[in-house]
């Protein structure tokens, strides 16, 4: 779309337009592509990471787990800053390439492999998510915190939030809840009839065997009662007393959706074929590799 730049004069002085402006750590360009912001964030993250990378080598120095922790706690927050504003920029190929270049450096150190290894294989072995997907995850979580629906899971339910201090009761109107110390109470042991029976059985020399039945499985009466209680809760027509969901559940639902997106990208990719033979599923790979102490020999055999 063609347009003319506006001309602004103030006190006889012409105010010229600039290509970009930095506001509260966010670089905003004229076309709102946010490419300059991503470039600066990636450069800053790489410079900070290089300090720790000097002590991380294939056979000595920082362990892969420490390198991964440094990336999650230092590098990622720098890049994810204000991600809710520029999350849509990750749809551009140039932005994804900049993010992949940063994460490739970290992933190679975190799984102790050579530079010729593909990015997908390095991300799987280092148990990291692609940065462009992490940006969208952080932006999604921020929108949920601001009141947006959590997809199709709970459309009519809200996220539970701390109560505003102005809505709390005045201290003079707060009910007085009293308590008594357990040590000051006169505790008397009650003899169970079952305990008397067991002591008599043991005195007679007979064997006593106790069985723990998990969730009362196998007891027809208990299973029937549980089924009726579950059916009553599902078919009850009255409104729920409390229907808000916690932030932890929102994070869990968002992470499941993000892992599915990463799974599609991983399966459709043309690289990392040997790694796919060992770990066809991303979630399964993370679960298995979490229990393995990664070495350069193990990493080379898995790719």
Phi, psi of 112 (to 5 degrees): 60, 55
How many whole angstroms separate alpha carbon 43 and alpha carbon 50? 11
Start-end of H helices in 112-192: 119-125, 131-145
Instruction: Output the pLDDT for position 59.
Output: 57
Cross-strand pairs, 35: none
pTM above 0.85, yes or no: no
Q: Can you give the pLDDT of all 303 residues of the chain as single tens digits? A: 676 777 888 888 888 888 888 888 899 988 888 999 999 999 998 888 887 767 655 556 677 888 888 888 888 999 999 999 999 999 999 999 999 999 998 888 888 888 888 888 888 888 889 999 999 999 999 988 887 776 666 666 778 888 888 888 888 887 777 777 766 666 666 556 656 677 788 788 888 777 776 666 677 878 888 888 888 877 877 777 777 888 888 888 889 999 999 999 888 888 888 888 888 888 888 888 888 887 778 877 777
- Pairing mode, strands 20-23 and 26-29: antiparallel
Instruction: Output the pLDDT for position 40.
Output: 93
Instruction: Output the pLDDT for position 244.
Output: 81
Sign for the CA dihedral angle at 71, 74, 77, 81 comes to: negative
For the record, the structure tokens of 43 come out as 């450069």
Closest by CA position to 106, among listed 56, 37, 44 = 56
Instruction: Output the pLDDT for position 51.
Output: 76
Which residue's entry shows tokens 């992470």? 255
Instruction: Output the pLDDT for position 94.
Output: 92
Closest by CA position to 84, among listed 33, 45, 138, 122 = 138
Cross-strand pairs, 154: 150
How many whole angstroms separate alpha carbon 208 and alpha carbon 173? 56
Distances, alpha carbon 5 to alpha carbons 2, 17, 22, 203, in Å = 10, 8, 20, 101
How many whole angstroms separate alpha carbon 195 and alpha carbon 187? 19
Closest by CA position to 97, among listed 44, 49, 38 = 38
Query: Which helix (H) or strand (E) is 54 found in, with range?
Result: none
C-beta neighbour count of 121 within 10 angstroms: 25
Distances, alpha carbon 155 to alpha carbons 130, 151, 158, 243, 245, in Å = 28, 7, 8, 12, 11
For the record, the structure tokens of 55 come out as 């002590």
């Amino acid at each position: 779309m063609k347009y003319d730049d506006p001309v602004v004069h103030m006190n006889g002085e012409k105010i010229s337009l600039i290509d970009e402006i930095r506001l509260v750590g966010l670089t905003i360009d004229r076309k709102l592509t946010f490419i300059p912001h991503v470039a600066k964030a990636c450069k800053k993250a790489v410079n900070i990471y290089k300090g720790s990378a000097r002590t991380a080598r294939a056979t000595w120095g920082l362990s892969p787990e420490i390198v991964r922790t440094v990336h999650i706690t230092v590098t990622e927050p720098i890049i994810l800053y204000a991600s809710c504003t520029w999350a849509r920029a990750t749809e551009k190929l140039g932005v994804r390439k900049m993010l992949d270049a940063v994460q490739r450096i970290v992933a190679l150190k975190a799984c102790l492999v050579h530079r010729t290894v593909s990015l997908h294989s390095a991300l799987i072995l280092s148990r990291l998510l692609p940065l462009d997907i992490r940006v969208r995850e952080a932006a999604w979580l921020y929108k949920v915190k601001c009141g947006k629906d959590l997809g199709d899971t709970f459309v009519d339910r809200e996220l539970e939030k701390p109560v505003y201090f102005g809505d709390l009761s005045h201290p003079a109107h707060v009910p007085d809840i009293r308590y008594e110390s357990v040590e000051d109470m006169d505790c008397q042991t009650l003899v169970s009839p079952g305990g008397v029976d067991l002591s008599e059985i043991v005195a007679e020399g007979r064997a006593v065997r106790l069985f723990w039945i998990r969730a009362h499985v196998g007891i027809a009466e208990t299973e029937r009662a549980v089924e009726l209680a579950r059916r009553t809760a599902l078919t009850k027509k009255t409104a729920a007393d409390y229907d808000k969901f916690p932030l932890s559940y929102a994070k869990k639902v968002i992470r499941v959706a993000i892992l599915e997106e990463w799974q599609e990208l991983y399966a459709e990719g043309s690289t990392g074929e040997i790694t796919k033979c060992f770990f066809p599923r991303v979630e399964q790979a993370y679960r298995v590799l979490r229990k393995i102490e990664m070495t350069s020999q193990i990493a080379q055999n898995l790719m």
